Amino acid sequence: MKLQIVPVHYLFLCYFCFLALTAQGQQRVAFDIDFFGYADNREYKSIYTEDKTIFGTILSPKFSFAIDSNNRILGGVHYNQDFGKHPENKDRLLPIVYYNFKNRHIDFALGHMPRYERLKEVPRIALADTFLYDRPNIEGMYFAFQKKTFRQALYLDWLSKQSLNQRERFLVGLSGKYMLGNFYMKDDAMLYHNALTSNDSIDQHIQDNGLAMLRVGLDWSHKTLLDSLTIEAGGVIGFDRVRTEYDLRVARGFISAIFIGYKRFFLENTCYIGDPQNLPNGDPFYRRDRYNRLDLGWVPFRKGNLEGKFTASFHFAPDQTSNQQAFTLRYLFGSTLWKKGI
């Protein structure tokens, strides 16, 4: 019953915010719905990985209250549920509440904000794609600067507040891209900090994990018979430390990727060679010295803000070869409800 009551209360809150803001000369109110459906079957055989099927939907309606052309407040909910509901099944309602300042060069946000629209380009070695299913929000701050061919973002995602039984945990990350003609350079960095609980009687150790990546590439999209063609390669440096247990450990590696797209079909291959990476929030396949991922994809639905995508993935690791089949469908619908003076 609680899940049926909370959304009504939340909608009433949004409605009263709407009345208050319009009464004070608020200029625009918009409403949009983001629907995300996923069916992800993971036939994993390698160690460190979990063999499972992730199957469900996330429905994310939200209101946007624009104070002026640069400042706005957004409020809504994520309703996230896996199929086959039973008492142990995931069934969650998460708030979307954040302030956003945005102009031609700056995008700043503070609050509970959707993860996909801001961090979808973060590589899997740094942040596993399961975050999009299980934790659809960034809870913290986001800042991005963009000017012509340059973009750099900094974000803080607070994963857990300290309590008697829960540790303080957070992620800090950087993600950027610089374009120069067909040439581009990407940088990504991340720090994961797993601190202590407030219970001094428990024997605990502070954990730090991090990663820095620098890649260079060439983008020949629409310059050949193909619609998309990019090739990139670069270096990865990871570090791992558990304080009072062992000192800083450094893992170095080489990573490369190629993406080919033609009409509704695509191929993507990612290869990693180097030291095993110990990143608790990264894709666990990178916890080995060699790994190759091949994605073969088809986009049967693509029209406006609707996209349905099927991907068959093959994971080649020294211990086992695994496979994965995923279908995702995303549809974004938006409408302006009221505006004044714009």
pLDDT tens string 178-201? 999 999 999 999 999 999 898 887
Identify the three-state secondary structure at position 280.
coil
In this predicted structure, the answer to whether residue 335 has a pLDDT above a threshold of 90 is no
Confidence bin at 3 (pLDDT 50/70/90): very low
For residue 10, being part of any structural domain is answered with no
What pLDDT score does 84 carry?
85
Q: For residue 138, give the nearest of 117, 152, 167, 153 by alpha carbon.
A: 117
> pLDDT at position 19, please?
53
Give the confidence band of 311 by pLDDT, cuts at 50, 70, 90. Answer: very high
Range of the domain at 249: 103-339
User: Does a structural domain hold residue 168?
Assistant: yes
What pLDDT is recorded for position 2? 42
Q: Are the CB atoms for 174 and 201 separated by under 8 Å?
A: no
Q: Residue 1: its pLDDT value, please?
A: 38
Write the pLDDT tens digit of every residue in 235-270.
999 999 999 888 899 999 999 999 999 999 999 999
Does some domain include residue 51?
no
For residues 236 and 254, the answer to whether their CB atoms sit within 8 Å is: yes
Residue 62 covered by a domain: no
Nearest-angstrom CA–CA distance, 158 and 99: 16
d(CA 63, CA 95): 12
Mean pLDDT for 143-155 is 95
Within a domain: 177 = yes
Do residues 238 and 211 make contact, with C-beta atoms less than 8 angstroms apart? yes
Which percentage of the chain shows pLDDT scores above 90? Answer: 72
The model's pLDDT over 4-57, given as tens digits with 9 standing for 90+, comes to: 444 555 555 555 555 555 555 557 788 999 999 999 999 999 999 999 999 999
Question: Mean per-residue pLDDT for 302-326?
Answer: 94
Cβ atoms of 115 and 138 closer than 8 Å? yes
141-150 exposure pattern, b = at least 16 Cβ within 10 A, e = fewer: bbebeeeeee
Per-residue pLDDT tens for 123-140? 999 999 999 898 999 999
**pLDDT at site 71:** 94
- SS3 at position 250: strand
Cβ partners under 8 Å of residue 64, min gap 6 = 28, 29, 30, 31, 32, 72, 73, 74
- Look at residues 75, 79, 55, 61 and name the one whose alpha carbon lies nearest to residue 4: 79
| pLDDT at 22 (0 to 100) | 52
Separation of alpha carbons 227 and 220, rounded Å: 9
Amino acid at 323: N
Cα dihedral 112, 335, 80, 133, rounded to 10, equals -70
- For residue 255, being part of any structural domain is answered with yes
Count of domains forming the chain: 1
The closest alpha carbon to 295, from 334, 317, 268, 270, belongs to 268
> From CA 131, how far away is CA 115, in angstroms rounded?
9
273 lies in some domain: yes
Helix/strand/coil for 30: strand
- pLDDT at position 323 is 97
Residue 75 lies in a domain: no
DSSP 8-state secondary structure symbol assigned to residue 18: H
Place of tokens 């992620």: 171
Tokens 């509970």 — which residue?
A: 112
